[in-house]
Amino acid sequence: MSLDLDDLDRSILRALAADARQPASAIGRSVGLSQPATWRRVKRMEDAGILSGRRVRLNAAKLGFDVTVFLGVKLATKGRSSVADFERAISAVPEVQLVQHVLGAYDYRLRVVARDLSDFERILRRRIMTLPGVGEVEANVLLSEERRPGPIG
């Protein structure tokens, strides 16, 4: 299932992960490949599902979202229906950007954006704590974040 990538593939992936809209010719120039050769490699990685889509990165603070909070949530009642109910309800909250089912001290990790702390409190009390099955919740306020290229770096 996993494709063997060479250094050129990894360079192309890194370039696209930084800016997906640059043309194949520009990526080709930076890695030393022709436009068609670059395009073929991109196509191959798309077909293998390695390039799985695009994501828009907006500056939250400049759009009025000054607070990002990560929540660890434990479900009070477990069982298939309560898990499904919780996942459906939490995913419908627009301020909740990320929902991950995890194994460990918590059942779910959530990433929540808010305009300020009082807005966050409102979202937590009215939209999250009221959901079915929610038990213990731990909140940590994000101070800084840095994304790394990962194993393709």
Q: Which residues here bind other proteins, judged by CB under 8 A?
A: 1-3, 5, 13, 16-21, 48-60, 62-65, 70, 72, 87, 90-91, 94-106, 108-109, 111, 113, 138-153
Locate 94 and state its tokens: 């627009």
- The Cα–Cα gap between 31 and 38 comes to 9
Based on CB atoms, which residue is closest to other proteins, 130 or 137? 137
**Residue 66 beta carbon to other proteins: minimum distance, rounded to whole angstroms:** 12
How would you label 83-100 residue by residue, b for 16+ Cβ within 10 Å and e otherwise? bebbeebbeebebbeebe
Based on CB atoms, which residue is closest to other proteins, 13 or 134? 13
| Angle at alpha carbon of residue 142, lines to 59 and 125, rounded to 5° | 100
DSSP code for 110: E
Based on CB atoms, which residue is closest to other proteins, 97 or 130? 97
- By the 10 Å C-beta count (0-12 exposed, 13-18 middle, 19+ buried), 101 is classed as exposed
**Residue 48 beta carbon to other proteins: minimum distance, rounded to whole angstroms:** 6
**Residue 10 beta carbon to other proteins: minimum distance, rounded to whole angstroms:** 10
**Residue 37 beta carbon to other proteins: minimum distance, rounded to whole angstroms:** 18
